[in-house]
A and B are shown apart, each in its own frame.
Chain A
Amino acid sequence: MLSKIIVQGLVSGGIYAVLAVGFSLIFGVGKILNMAHTAFYMVSAYIIFYATSMLGLPLPASLTLAIILTTVLGIACYILFFNRVKHHDTTVMIISVALAIIFQEVLLLVFGGHYRGVPPFARGFMEIWQLRVSYQHLIAIVTSGVILIGLWIMLKKTGLGTAIRSVAEDREIANLMGMNVDRILLIVMAISVALAGLAGGVIAPIYMLSPLMWQQPMAIMLAAVVLGGLGSIGGCVLGAFILGFIETIVIFLVPGGAFLQGAVSMSVMVLVLLFRPEGLFGVVFEEERL
């Protein structure tokens, strides 16, 4: 039981963390509240399903294809829609909701409303300290860990990372310092959507696919981002793991837990926010304090 909770908690926490980091990046840098973030993750999972089941491609090839196609789709959405109305925050949000609905309906039209499954990358399991971990879960955990650490290094050590952080801090000053803000926003959007696509690819063999699969992770992802503190990458990773573990514990230990998983983790978020309104690691500016 305990081993199941730990493994499942690490898997869902890792996936939520990858999603939350992508969402938090584009929100922090571009003030774009992209409600379609998990819709991109769904699109990626469906592309993998299509590539493996219909075209018969091997899994690594279809994963690459899914990430590339999702990223291209995300960049197209950014250039065509978000970029043009980015001065109206709520309008951007509404457009992203509309996009998510369109993706959902297109997938419903093409694949129907049935639950779909993708064959696992690798069968079998291994034992680590008497924890029985299937290779598929191991892949998910390792991938999310590598991605998160890689992103951390990219943001802290490289020139591009410094540019991204400076644009997030103050767009005008960054522009005056000679950074091409528009290009950086585009790059951040591409990274963010690619992360969503990767998350979708990793979970595709674990969870069932359905055109409504984007809604539940979106709520948890938003909760994780708020819990950790908007604009803090480390915070939202921690928030995602906290919520992932709470969700898993509720599923395994509480009767009727599958219905309550979202409710409990969100109640935890609300409680934390009542005592720390800026989230666990959020930054409060003096003028923003009430």
Chain B
Amino acid sequence: MNYLYMFYNWIKQAIFAIPGRVIALVFFIALFCAPLITKSEYFLGIIVLSTIFALFAVSWDLLSGFTGQLNLGHALFFGVSAYAAGLLNIHLHYSPWITIPLGALVAVAVGLVVGVPALRLRGFYLGLVTLTFPLILLGIFFAFPMQTGGELGISGIDRLASSRVAEYYIVAVIFTVSVLLIWKLTDTKNKVIRLGILLHAIREDEITARASGINTTLQKFIAFALSAFFAGIAGGLYAHYMRIATPAALELFFSFQAILWTIFGGITTIYGPVVGVFILYPLLELLSGVPWGEQLRYIIFGVVLIATLMIMPEGLAVWVLDKLEIECPRCKLINAFTRKKCRACRAPLRIKKKTTV
């Protein structure tokens, strides 16, 4: 009974007191309860693809948002893993449980190769160099259609599981675990895993970070490997869920989509990309169902994106959380917007500014 009470207390302090986490909890509960509410394959399919793309966008945020290594060709990791998983499955008949981790490892290897220029380049230079890698690979794929399927890609890959609902839960569980893992890894306040604060330091000022004794080379490689790993998992899941691996997974537009989603939701936040994908991707899909939607959907997509960014340049999730949460000026604890005093130290949250003459 005592433990139950302690657990209740912990939940109350760690989740219910912070609006952002309440929203996250509601989101995850909704994610896991969705198959109980609707059996429609169409809606479940949209949610599955949203979760896969959300993992992809989060991995971009880990690399480009947190570490500041602007990667404009992130589709490389996704596409390489999708192709690797597909080829392993088609030719060697490995099950998805083997091909997805192997695909992710291939993506990690590619990520380490891409990480080499990152040691010497930075900012937009790095972005423009990384942008070219998927295009180079795409050119090679088109030049050797026998092995890679050319424009049509690889089709006939095994399904993830026998039933749609099982597939849904596999993807949902992997997504939840991965995102919570990335969120923990990048937590700058964590005293045990110091990766978050190290990556943060590299983003803010690399030379100072190096002068402070941080092995920036190693940390950058870790960031590239981690990001490529999670993007690779997303790619493998995508290949096995859609049962095809197409050149579309390597295109420029797909790389940009990760960036569009992330910036829309809020960069450097981990939850931002999730919010971005879960709003923009279903919007795009649902628009194709209405009359004229098929033709107009990318125009509407672009207009919504621009309008949002004009009003909230920091991203939707950041803007909303800014309205819902207040940081205590004294103890830096996060409070709900309804409170007038900090829940821990009772300091007044809103200090009325004296009107200056």
Contact = CB atoms under 8 A, between A and B. Distances in A.
B122 A98 contact: no
B98 interface: no
A263 B134 CA distance: 9
Given A94-B263, A270-B117, A226 B125 contact: yes
A270 B121 CA distance: 11
Contacts of A102: 298-299, 302-303
Interface in B291-316: 295-296, 298-299, 301-303, 305-306, 309-310, 313-314
Contact of A266 (B132, B263, B302): B132
Interface stretch (B16-24, B45-53, B85-93, B138-146): B138-146
B125 A230 contact: yes
Nearest to B260: A94
Contact of A101 (B259, B267, B296, B302): B302
Given A108-B295, A222-B128, A269-B132, 9 more contacts: A90-B70, A98-B260, A99-B302, A101-B253, A219-B132, A223-B132, A273-B121, A273-B125, A279-B125
Interface of A: 27, 33, 35, 81, 84-85, 87-88, 90-91, 93-95, 97-99, 101-102, 104-106, 108-109, 215, 218-219, 222-223, 225-226, 230, 256, 259-264, 266-267, 269-270, 273-274, 277-279, 287-288, 290
Residue with the greatest number of chain A CB neighbours at <10 A, chosen from B116, B119, B142: B142
B152 to A, nearest CB: 14
Chain B, interface size category, equals 35 or more
A109 B295 contact: yes
Interface of B: 70, 116-117, 119-122, 124-125, 128-129, 131-133, 135-140, 142-143, 206-207, 252-253, 256, 259-260, 263-264, 267, 295-296, 298-299, 301-303, 305-306, 309-310, 313-314
B267 A277 contact: no
A81 B311 CA distance: 11
B135 A263 contact: yes
Contacts of B207: 287, 290
Contacts of B135: 219, 262-263, 266
Nearest to B292: A109
Contact of A290 (B116, B122, B140, B296): B122
Contacts of A290: 119-120, 122, 206-207
Contacts of B303: 102
Given A97-B260, A226-B125, A230-B125, A261 B131 contact: no
A272 to B, nearest CB: 10
Given A259-B139, A270-B129, A94 B299 contact: no
A219 B313 CA distance: 26
Which 4 residue pairs across A and B have the least CB separation, nearest first?
A263-B139, A259-B142, A266-B132, A102-B302
Contact of A269 (B129, B142, B298, B302): B129
A90 B136 contact: no
Nearest to B132: A266
A85 B139 contact: no
Contact of A274 (B120, B252, B298): B120
A42 to B, nearest CB: 15
Contact of B302 (A105, A215, A262, A278): A105
B298 A101 contact: yes
A112 B68 CA distance: 40
A270 B309 contact: no
Contacts of B295: 105, 108-109
22 contacts: A81-B306, A90-B263, A95-B305, A102-B299, A105-B295, A105-B296, A105-B299, A223-B128, A223-B132, A225-B128, A260-B143, A262-B135, A262-B136, A263-B143, A266-B135, A269-B129, A273-B117, A273-B120, A277-B125, A279-B125, A288-B122, A290-B120
B139 A261 contact: yes
A98 B120 contact: no
Residue with the greatest number of chain A CB neighbours at <10 A, chosen from B119, B121, B207, B301: B121
Nearest to B136: A263
B129 A97 contact: no
Contacts of A267: 136
Contact of B136 (A27, A98, A256, A266): A266
A35 B263 CA distance: 15
A219 B260 contact: no
Contacts of A270: 117, 129, 132-133, 136
